[in-house]
Chains A and B, each alone.
Chain A
């Protein structure tokens, strides 16, 4: 089975990005970059499925040349090879259209992506790709018994593949939904699908020798004109810190008379 996994290079979610004084962009200088956390979960799931079913895991990233670092992290976890599509920052629609092209070339049985990239918070690319390909989709994949389960301890995948079909548990409003899809299909990950492994030192060494194909986006002949244009970046309104109260009685008093929240 061939699995394509996408990994986006994003700013470290533990640090706050700065906005350029004129609001024209974000200041990424001096920021540290990480693989999108949902994409690490995607790589992990792909590796577990590969262990069960054999085949190959290919890590794809679109972005600057530096995104090769995030591809190497996926390779260090255990994926076999990488594809870096060199481009400017693309909107999710352009990402999906470029991926359509790669899917035509690679013919994977399954594509696993994150549900959302923590920079842009779009939550679109996987669904767009499935729509363009006409493939079934299961977004927000989870593990039925959660991260505390025996299955997770045994490093079993949450996605079940049998007879050319994938069964996926999804996190939705009000509960968990189960879908079964014919392969090929697109899955996007939620937080409760698995605990991604850390790359081992030998893994990191091996990753340096694994093949990564680098393609300038122009060579793929895909129109990447964005459909979403960002005009301005601003700080959100900030909330003022309030007061510290000394007792439950004082809290209740304030909630009743001052905030009128009770």
Chain B
């Protein structure tokens, strides 16, 4: 058997869209290995999620145990290994979210598998070579995993969410014996936000150091985002300065976004930032420096003072 196992991720009791994008990759992979697409749901009280995932894959394995209540790499990696064995999987894949990045390499160690991170897709119509960005996205590498079992994390912006199938797949309960954990989940401090998720939003407004101070995010960026029902992102500079939460950093070492419209306000366009947004459909840059590198990739550039432009733009929308 050479099935493909997709590890699901939950967000506040529902299936993450990123997982649905990973199913699309998994289907492509299964067509190449001649296997089926299996899903894996881990947690406690997650039967509803398993039913939801079953609409998109052939078989769902669900490990519903108290020890998996909180997503910890130590326990989750063991459950992934057990499920991969149960599913007869030769490919184990998950979206390259923060959770996916944390748990999948650990699962790879337990599976004695090679791992390719942040895959953009297969390199050609046949074979298992894949493309992935390296060097802050300045280079695309074509890589191949030589191990029997292959672990792959997929970049969510590169795949459409898989549609529901005509009839749902089978849901199978799996019980896994976990070693007593040496990690305790203390707490999760959630950033409260009414806005669309940065990685799912159709419009993203990002602010940078040009905004001068923390107070200008609520003053200038939020009203504009309200008008466009946009998510708000940021450059590393302003996240480091503590103006906005860490979770808003767009870039090589933050989140990768590819909205329909990306508006960069007071951001210079360092390669590390560009790595996280250059897949956006339309890019607008507002920056007073005509030499700012962001203009090299913006579809529409406005060379002017953001303190004048942003309020005007918000008002005219």
The answer to whether A235 and B139 touch (CB under 8 A), given A146-B242, A227-B113, A242-B298, is: yes
| In contact, B190 and A175 (Cβ under 8 angstroms) | yes
Is B309 part of the binding interface, using a Cβ–Cβ cutoff of 8 Å? Answer: yes
Of B26-34, B40-48, B95-103, the segment with at least 4 beta carbons within 8 Å of chain A is B95-103
| In contact, A234 and B109 (Cβ under 8 angstroms) | no
Number of B interface residues, CB 8 Å? 89
Is A72 part of the binding interface, using a Cβ–Cβ cutoff of 8 Å? Answer: no
| In contact, A181 and B247 (Cβ under 8 angstroms) | no
| In contact, B186 and A179 (Cβ under 8 angstroms) | yes
> What chain A residues lie within 8 Å of B284 (beta carbons)?
251, 255
> What chain B residues lie within 8 Å of A247 (beta carbons)?
302
Select B146's contact among A11, A119, A226, A248, beta carbons within 8 Å: A226
Select B106's contact among A38, A119, A137, A236, beta carbons within 8 Å: A137
Of A44-52, A54-62, A82-90, A91-99, the segment with at least 4 beta carbons within 8 Å of chain B is A91-99
| In contact, A229 and B183 (Cβ under 8 angstroms) | no
Is B20 part of the binding interface, using a Cβ–Cβ cutoff of 8 Å? Answer: no
State the CA gap A96–B245 with chains docked (Å). Answer: 32
| In contact, B72 and A179 (Cβ under 8 angstroms) | yes
Q: Which of A122, A173, A236 has the most CB of B within 10 A?
A: A173
Chain B 92-120 interface residues, beta-carbon cutoff 8 Å to A = 97-99, 101-110, 113-118
> What chain A residues lie within 8 Å of B139 (beta carbons)?
17, 19, 26, 233-236
| In contact, A91 and B114 (Cβ under 8 angstroms) | yes
| In contact, B282 and A121 (Cβ under 8 angstroms) | no
Is A171 part of the binding interface, using a Cβ–Cβ cutoff of 8 Å? Answer: yes
Nearest A residue (CB) for B245: A175
State the CA gap A253–B6 with chains docked (Å). Answer: 43
> What chain B residues lie within 8 Å of A149 (beta carbons)?
242
Q: Which of B102, B133, B181 has the most CB of A within 10 A?
A: B102
| In contact, B105 and A124 (Cβ under 8 angstroms) | yes
| In contact, B186 and A92 (Cβ under 8 angstroms) | no
State the CA gap A120–B140 with chains docked (Å). Answer: 11
Chain B 72-101 interface residues, beta-carbon cutoff 8 Å to A = 72-74, 77, 97-99, 101
State the CA gap A205–B179 with chains docked (Å). Answer: 48
State the CA gap A135–B143 with chains docked (Å). Answer: 29
| In contact, B302 and A248 (Cβ under 8 angstroms) | yes
| In contact, B114 and A93 (Cβ under 8 angstroms) | yes
| In contact, B117 and A241 (Cβ under 8 angstroms) | no
> What chain B residues lie within 8 Å of A249 (beta carbons)?
316
| In contact, A236 and B138 (Cβ under 8 angstroms) | yes
Select A119's contact among B98, B135, B228, B278, beta carbons within 8 Å: B135
Is A39 part of the binding interface, using a Cβ–Cβ cutoff of 8 Å? Answer: no
| In contact, B299 and A259 (Cβ under 8 angstroms) | yes
Chain B 110-164 interface residues, beta-carbon cutoff 8 Å to A = 110, 113-118, 123, 129, 133-147
Nearest A residue (CB) for B299: A242
| In contact, A239 and B278 (Cβ under 8 angstroms) | yes
| In contact, B252 and A118 (Cβ under 8 angstroms) | yes
State the CA gap A192–B234 with chains docked (Å). Answer: 14
Is A177 part of the binding interface, using a Cβ–Cβ cutoff of 8 Å? Answer: yes
State the CA gap A136–B116 with chains docked (Å). Answer: 22
| In contact, A171 and B185 (Cβ under 8 angstroms) | no
Within the complex, the shortest CB–CB distance from B57 to chain A, in Å, comes to 23
Is B281 part of the binding interface, using a Cβ–Cβ cutoff of 8 Å? Answer: yes
> What chain B residues lie within 8 Å of A231 (beta carbons)?
123, 129, 142-144
Select B109's contact among A19, A128, A233, beta carbons within 8 Å: A128
Chain A 190-240 interface residues, beta-carbon cutoff 8 Å to B = 190-192, 225-236, 239
| Apart from A129-B109, A174-B191, 19 more pairs, CB < 8 Å | A16-B271, A93-B115, A124-B105, A137-B73, A175-B245, A175-B247, A177-B187, A181-B182, A181-B184, A191-B240, A231-B123, A236-B137, A239-B296, A242-B283, A244-B295, A248-B313, A254-B300, A259-B261, A259-B281
Using a CB–CB cutoff of 8 Å, the interface residues on chain B facing chain A are: 11, 72-74, 77, 97-99, 101-110, 113-118, 123, 129, 133-147, 179, 181-191, 228, 236, 239-242, 245-247, 249, 252-253, 260-261, 271-272, 278, 281-284, 290, 295-303, 309, 312-313, 316-317
Q: List, sorted by A's number, 12 A–B pairs whose CB atoms are closer than 8 Å.
A: A115-B253, A171-B246, A176-B189, A177-B185, A178-B188, A185-B182, A191-B239, A228-B143, A229-B143, A236-B133, A236-B139, A244-B295
